[in-house]
Structure formats: structure tokens, C-alpha cells
Amino acid sequence: MAQKLWEKSVQVNKDIERFTVGRDREMDLYLAKHDVLGSMAHITMLESIGLLTKEELDQLLVELKSIYASAEKGEFVIEDGVEDVHSQVELMLTRRLGDIGKKIHSGRSRNDQVLLDLKLFTRTQIKEVAEAVEQLFHVLIRQSERYKNVLMPGYTHLQIAMPSSFGLWFGAYAESLMDDMLFLQAAFKMCNRNPLGSAAGYGSSFPLNRTMTTDLLGFDSMNYNVVYAQMGRGKMERNVAFALATIAGTISKLAFDACMFNSQNFGFVKLPDDCTTGSSIMPHKKNPDVFELTRAKCNKLQSLPQQIMMIANNLPSGYFRDLQIIKEVFLPAFQELKDCLQMTTYIMNEIKVNEHILDDDKYLLIFSVEEVNRLALLAIPLSYNNPRSMKYYGQTAAVLIFILYLNALSIFQTWITQGKVGILGATLYMNVPVAVLTTFLFYRLMTINQGRFDAFIYWLQKPFRALAGKFKRKKETP
């Protein structure tokens, strides 16, 4: 059994070893070829500062290229008793080259080694996710253009609302993916910084050329502060997880729409037959299993940032073994999202659209807003909540009441001259229309527009405030 890189003189307890190693051997297979690339850059730098000879470098590079090829083919394995990918690579080199193989560890720790592996892996995976998103984007744009003139009902509160189109529906998800790419781009920039050379988080006394490894590995820049390089473990994964979760949110919503629109109660779309399944008891069933699984997987991916935060959010600076657990939820997430993107791209490309949805009379009401807008353009008021309508109704009512008041006044003047009514009765009768008009106006102002009512009251109070102001100034004059 291979000796651990950290092993001293204490015998390792097998149960404790099993517990502490956990799923690391399984997870580190994701990182194998990236670990080899990091070692190739590191030893090239070591040779440049005199810690390796040219002959040693050449021998190591030949063997590392061989290991990389086996990792590319999926043939790389981490043996029983070997803790992780770093230990396995070093073990393979020492078997072939003797003590020269041990020199690849000079000037670095497993801490900055795994940081580097994670960043190289994540950088590669982000590019692949972006390519998968781009493929889906182009399918959605193509379908949006194809069905731009096919109407469908738009919904609010799951109630039919206004006319929409499949062009808008497909295009909405395409634009959502564009926003998602902003998150992914930011995550890539944060990821694309070189931590190699930070060692255990406090640097190395060797004159390491970190700029050289940064260039060799294609990083934009480096984590300049070695303490922060180690603090970035967990933070980088969380930031990338947010970007993945954002994409997953778009796909999950699209999957929900498609499942709902595919149901008999809607009948807006027809999913590809090979993406649906039957029932063991109901022969008529065509269940949208692929999109249902997509929805579930994407909902799970949306919890990824929270999972990572719960592992890392209460850790102080420095390295802690807690961070190892992040790999178990983070590394497999990329393939899961890429699978969902692949399935969604296929279904969206093959989906069939019902081009006669609005032939059903139950959707007639979605055009009601258009009728309202048409009448509004003709200056026909339709609502007491509309200021123009309030003015229209208020003025009309006021004119009618004023006409009635003038008619009543004319009649009463005749009756008074004829002695048919007394002065008191005539006075009360003549003031009834005034009272009615005032009451009506106050009612309209109170029930139509509170702001106008307040303004009207303010206007009525204006002369009284003016008198009060004069009285106050007069009182204050000595």
C-alpha cells in the first residue's frame, strides 16, 4: 500500500481513513487530467529556477503526457489505499522514474494543487456549458422567428389575459439565457486566476515564478495574495454555482411551460414522441418524463449555491477539511446541467406548435383590452378611475343639474309674482338644486380621485387661511 504524502510514524486507523477519504477518490477522477496539466506547468517552472535539470524535466514530461492520455481515455484509476489524484500521479511517476518522481511536489502543497485542479476543471466546464447554452439559444431564436405570427393566449395568475405569440414565448427564453450568460461570464473571470505557488496558503521560500505558470496555464492573472488564494476555496465554487443555478432556473421554467402546454387541457404544443412515456395501466398516456426530470434536476441545481454556503460560510481564513465535501456536490453539477441543456435543445428543436389555438371561442376575451384601447383612441370614456372619464361625467352632470336649476328658478320667479308660494318656501326650493349639485360634486370627488378631492378641500379652505394669516399678522403687530 502506498504511503500517504502526509503520513508520519503513526499507524493509520482503517475506519478513520475510510471516513476522512470519503468520496475523494471518486471525485478526484474529475480532476485527473487537470492535475497532470498543473504538474507539467509546475515542473517546467521548477526547471527554469534550477530546481530540476533539463533531463529530469524531459523525463517527467514524457511520463506526465502518458498519464494525461490515460485520463483522457477514461483509463486513469486511483488505486485502493491511495488518497487522492495528487498522490496517485506522484506514485505512478516514482514507480517509473524513482526519486525523480517525488520532485514534482517541490514548492507546492496539496492545498494549492487542488485549488489549481478545481480552477482548471471549472474553467473547462464553464466553456462547455456556455457552448451548450449557445446551441439552445440558436434553436429558440430559430423557432421564435418561425412561429412569430402564431398567436397564443398570454396568462397572468394562470388566467387568460392578453394575446401573445409563440415567437414571443420562444424568444423570451432566448433572452433569459442571454442574461444568464452574464453571470457565467463573471464566474469565469473570477475562476480564471492562478492560485499555484500559494502552497498551503502562505507561499513558499523557493523563488517560484508564478507569472510563468500563470502564462503556461492560460490564466488571465493570478491570486496575488497567497492567503486569499486559499480563502478563495469555496468562494469560487459558490460563485460559479450561482451562475449554473441561474441557467437551471431558466430551463426549469421552460420545462414547466412545455409540460403544461403539452397537456390536454391546454393542447398548445406536442412534445416529441421519443421524449414521452406511456403508463403501465392507462394506454392513452403520453407523459412528458424527459422535461419532468429536467425540471427536477434543474430545481436541484438551483439549491447548489446554498449547499456550498452551508459547508463553507462559517470557516475562518486558512484551509479546512470541510472544503473537501464541496467537491461532492460541485463537480457532478456541470454534467447534470449539460445533460439538461442537451435534452432541452433537442425537444425545442422537435416540438410541434398548435397554430389554431385561438379558434376556440373561450379565448375571445383576450382581445378585450384591444377593444378598450380602440374606444379610448376615440375619446370615449370607459372608467370612473380614468381622469378623462371623471372630467367627462362630472362636467355632464354639472351642466344637467345647472340647467334644471335655471328652469326651476324661472318657474319659481313666475310663482312668486303670482303669489302662489311664500318667500320662505321659494327660498328653500331655490336652494335645493344648489345643495344637490354640491353633494354630487363632493361625492364624485371622494369616490373617483382622492387626490382631486384633497385639492378641492384645500381650495375651499384657501380664503379662510388667508383671513387667518391676516389676523395673525395683525395680532403680532406692536
For the chain, the three-class secondary structure string (H helix, E strand, C coil) is CCCCCCCCCCCCCHHHHHHHHCCHHHHHHHHHHHHHHHHHHHHHHHHHCCCCCHHHHHHHHHHHHHHHHHHHCCCCCCCCCCCCHHHHHHHHHHHHHHHHHHHHHCCCCHHHHHHHHHHHHHHHHHHHHHHHHHHHHHHHHHHHHHCCCCEEEEEECCEEEEEEEHHHHHHHHHHHHHHHHHHHHHHHHHHCEECCCCCCCCCCCCCCCHHHHHHHCCCCEECCCHHHHHHCCCHHHHHHHHHHHHHHHHHHHHHHHHHHHHCCCCCCEECCHHHCECCCCCCCCCECHHHHHHHHHHHHHCCHHHHHHHHHCCCCCCCCHHHHHHHHHHCCHHHHHHHHHHHHHHHHHHCEECCCHHHCHHHHHHHHHHHHHHHHHCCCCCCCCCHHHHHHHHHHHHHHHHHHHHHHHHHHHHHHHHCCCCHHHHHHHHHHHHHHHHHHHHHHHHHHCHHHHHHHHHHHHHHHHHHHHHHHHHHHCC
Q: What is the pLDDT of residue 1?
A: 46
Burial of residue 197 (CB within 10 Å: 0-12, 13-18, 19+) is buried
Q: What is the pLDDT of residue 286?
A: 85
Burial of residue 234 (CB within 10 Å: 0-12, 13-18, 19+) is buried
Q: What is the pLDDT of residue 313?
A: 87
Active site positions, annotated = 157, 279
Q: How far is CA 435 from CA 439, 441, 442, in A?
A: 6, 10, 11
**C-alpha–C-alpha distance, residues 476 and 478, integer Å:** 6
Q: What is the CA radius of gyration of the chain?
A: 39
Q: What is the pLDDT of residue 464?
A: 47
- The reported pTM is 0.77
Cell (9 digits) for 289 = 418524463
**C-alpha–C-alpha distance, residues 142 and 170, integer Å:** 9
Q: What is the pLDDT of residue 320?
A: 87
Beta strand pairing status for 193-194 and 221-222?
Answer: parallel
**C-alpha–C-alpha distance, residues 97 and 357, integer Å:** 72
Return averaged pLDDT per consecutive 10 residues of the chain, 478 residues in all.
53 80 87 97 97 97 97 93 91 95 93 96 98 98 97 94 95 98 97 95 94 97 95 95 98 97 94 85 86 96 96 89 93 98 97 94 85 71 51 49 57 62 57 58 51 52 51 49
